[in-house]
Amino acid sequence: MTDGTVTSATPVTAKSVCRCCGGFCPVIATLDGSRIEKVEGNPDAPLHRGFICPKGRALATQQNDPNRLKHSLKRMPDGSFVPISKDQLIDEIAEKVRQCIEEYGPDSVASYMGNPVHEQPATAPMMVSFLEAIGSNSLYTVATIDQPGMFVSDALHGTWEGGHVPLDLLDVFLIIGGNPIISKQYANNNPGQRLKSFVGRGGKLIVIDPRRTETARRAAVHLQGIPGEDPAILAGLIHLVIKGGGTDAAFVKENATGLDALTAAVSPFTPDYVAQRAGVDPEQLRQAAQLLIEAKRGDVGSGVGPSMATRGTLSTYLSRCLITLRGFWTRPGDPARSPVLLAPWQPRAQPSAPYPAIMPDAPRKPARGIGASVAGLPLNGLLEEMMTPAKGNVCAMFMHGGAMRTWPDTRKVKEALEALDLLVVHDIEMSATARVATHVIATNTQLEVPTFSQWFESVSFTHPGWGVQEPYGLYNPALATPPPDAEIMASWEIYYHVARRLGLSLKLGRIFEDRASALPMDMEREPDTDALYALLCEGSAIPLETVKQYADGHIFEEARTKVGPRSDDCSARLELADAGMMAQLQEVATEDYHARRGTGPDFPYLFIPRRIQQTTNATYRAEGILRTPYNPAYMHGTDLAQLGLSPGDLVRIRSKNGSIVGVVESDDDLRPGVLSMTHGFGANPGDDHDPREHGANVNELLSWSDDYDPLHGQPRMGAVPVSVLPIEQEEKA
Ligand code: SF4
């Protein structure tokens, strides 16, 4: 067995970590020479115990991808791509960056951090460092089209220093529009087994979801509401909890304000009103509230579903209020997130006061009137900027993510990306987004770069559903090598080289930490990825060199952190009745909800997104990993029968924003009236498109103008009214 790069022709095994999602599952690869034969879970890994999902197993296929990009490419005026040497690539990109800064200012050079950025963990810190060096504030992330409401609601409600109670200690867990068994959010390491253990020891799972998901099947109560009605359901639960004497009065008195105002705001949400409006059983609503009232320890996790279905901030805000009302936050002596490759910390069982969610003084100008928030710069409005050359508008973009398949309004996305003076995309094959780039950097696969657990730790400080609570550390060197005839760049390298060409110095710091602690990089001698990791681990709770001694990863008991007692001078309070949130709740209570939902004779169904186990939205998809190469349009059997459709039929799906052609599939776990499809499919507009081969890009149904959140700009991406028409009928019409 070896843990390093393999040169022998005899089959051997080597260890690394899957980085296709935030699960961070340790893997063992069997290699024959430099070829990876198979990838399995590492049974000796202390947290995951051998668990991986099909995407992890498909890493072998990814590594052996016959379509692998071996050289970086440059787009020619006629749209074709030609190979370009590393030196020329760096020269051209550096020159374009210089020109953009000169003509339009530093903010015209932007970076986008999508989920694939996790695959090479040095990339995000280098991207931040580069933007700082050129003086650009234009860092965009996936956050404002994923779960921006979580960041904003934390600011409005305030946060609890000790964090959420870990799953293993909960009596009750309420999940809103999330499906950990597939997404891994809220139970990263082996979610199926962890939820099974939770339920097995008497834990009660409550799930709010329009679909009887893999997770909902394990629920004590499944509230299968109408998409978009999460705020009403949550307000109804809060109303019942307060009315049923479930408020932890002592906790609330010491730690929160606004109880009376919240009580009044949720009073219209009686079980009968919520049932009528959201299509749930009032008795089930009461059962769910009773489980929340009876539980000693509990938590509420909000997923991507409610976030996309509009009013995601309000849903998450109410979920935080529910935790506070019940006093479900951690108490002294509870386990806390325990840094290993981050600096040590000592959290207390006390609130941190609310803080501004909106940053009116942020240097980047607002687009569409939506400014920067604690969720970051809004993607909403960026496309218009890209298409309008002007001082401060983005004209160059370094892209780490699959914008063509993940950003709403695909046609506009393509037009805007093609309007850029410079679009640099890192990829291992010609993805949909690479095809609209000016420069495509042939980069490493995730197994070709060393990995360490710092990112896994870091995300736990920004999102309670991700990362690790245990004092867990892991480092593995690169497991595989690129093809011998390839010229490949790690995806952080471009930032280093362009900075050097521009005569700039970089300072490298840990992501999500104060930039004051960033350390200067050696701009003379080019570092390797390991040197960057060493810099990023300066001052960590456990030295990186110690972590390196454990190829399977290790629980470092000496770094275990417990929640400390409240400090005597803590006077902060959590806010149960933020004025903006209460106003929105009143709007929910008084609106014509049928009109807001938007369904009717023209658009009788509601589209919702759906995750599948075999693929993520924005990253490489292995050949043959899916049962069908397309993303089926799932509908309830009764809906299919009413439309005269059979599974496999082609349909036109139309929203007020656009239309796609889908292939229908029956799914009686869905609520009737709902159509559910997965993001991340479809051909680029203008390319040859066969719905049975490429699937459909659901983003064509979406618009940035549709019902967007005024605080962070996320448009309606779920609960979208659509019509479904058999293609045969459309052709006759
Ligand atoms: S994609 Fe699967 S194997 Fe990879 S990290 Fe996520 S859960 Fe683990």
pTM of the full predicted structure?
Answer: 0.95
Ligand 1 pocket, residues with Cβ under 6 angstroms: 18, 20-21, 23-25, 52-53, 55-56, 184
**Which helix H or strand E contains 210, and what residues bound it?**
none
**Cβ-count burial 269-288 (b if 16+ within 10 Å, e if not):** bbbebbbebbbbebebbbbb
pLDDT of residue 717: 96
Placement of tokens 């051209």 in the chain: 92
SS3 call for 9: coil
Rounded Cα distance between 696 and 632, Å, is 9
Ligand 1: which of 25, 118, 451, 459 to mutate, most ligand atoms within 8 Å of CB? 25
* Contact (CB, 8 A) for 126 and 492: yes
pLDDT above 80: residue 617 = no
Residues above pLDDT 70, as percent of the chain? 96
| CA 40 / ligand 1 centre spacing (Å) | 11
Token pair of 707 as six digits: 């019902």
Helix 230-243 to helix 259-266 angle (10° resolution) is 120
| CA 537 / ligand 1 centre spacing (Å) | 24
State the first-to-last Cα distance of the chain, in angstroms, to the nearest integer: 65
Domain annotation for the chain: domains and CATH numbers:
73-142+358-559 (3.40.50.740), 164-329+574-579 (3.40.228.10), 598-731 (2.40.40.20)
Q: What is the DSSP string of 42-74?
A: -TT-TTTTT---HHHHTHHHHHT-TT---S-EE
| CA 632 / ligand 1 centre spacing (Å) | 22
pLDDT digits (tens, 9 = 90+) for 437-480: 999 999 999 999 999 999 889 988 888 888 888 999 999 999 99
The length of the chain is 733
* Phi and psi at residue 428, to the nearest 5°: -105, -10
Residue nearest to ligand 1 atom 7, measured at CA:
23
The atom of ligand 1 lying closest to the CA of 24 is 5
Range of lowest pLDDT (315-319, 370-374, 580-584, 637-641): 370-374
| CA 148 / ligand 1 centre spacing (Å) | 23
| CA 25 / ligand 1 centre spacing (Å) | 6
The atom of ligand 1 lying closest to the CA of 27 is 3
Range of lowest pLDDT (52-61, 179-188, 653-662): 179-188
pLDDT of residue 6: 44
* Contact (CB, 8 A) for 262 and 211: no
**Cβ-count burial 455-464 (b if 16+ within 10 Å, e if not):** bbbbbbbebb
Q: Which residue, 697, 678, 555, 656, is CA-closest to 608?
A: 678
pLDDT digits (tens, 9 = 90+) for 12-67: 999 999 998 889 999 999 998 888 999 999 999 999 999 999 889 989 988 888 88
For 371-434, list the strands marked E by DSSP.
396-400, 422-427
The atom of ligand 1 lying closest to the CA of 21 is 6
| CA 482 / ligand 1 centre spacing (Å) | 22
pLDDT digits (tens, 9 = 90+) for 537-547: 999 999 999 99
Q: Which amino acid, 639?
A: D
**In sequence order, which residues have a C-beta less than 8 Å from that of residue 696 and are 6 or more positions away?**
630, 631, 633, 653, 660, 661, 662, 677, 681, 682
Residue nearest to ligand 1 atom 2, measured at CA:
53
* Contact (CB, 8 A) for 701 and 722: yes
Rounded Cα distance between 173 and 167, Å, is 8
pLDDT above 70: residue 5 = no
Q: Which residue, 650, 685, 712, is CA-closest to 373?
A: 712
Q: What is the DSSP string of 419-452?
A: H-SEEEEEESS--TTGGG-SEEEEB--GGGS-EE
pLDDT digits (tens, 9 = 90+) for 58-112: 899 888 888 899 999 999 999 999 999 999 999 999 999 999 999 999 999 999 9
Q: Where are the alpha helices (H) located in 268-355, listed in sequence order?
A: 271-278, 282-294, 304-308, 312-326
pLDDT above 90: residue 264 = yes
| CA 459 / ligand 1 centre spacing (Å) | 16
* Contact (CB, 8 A) for 453 and 553: yes
**Which helix H or strand E contains 592, and what residues bound it?**
none
How many angstroms separate the Cα of 556 from the Cα of each of 348, 361, 461, 474, 561?
Answer: 21, 42, 19, 10, 10
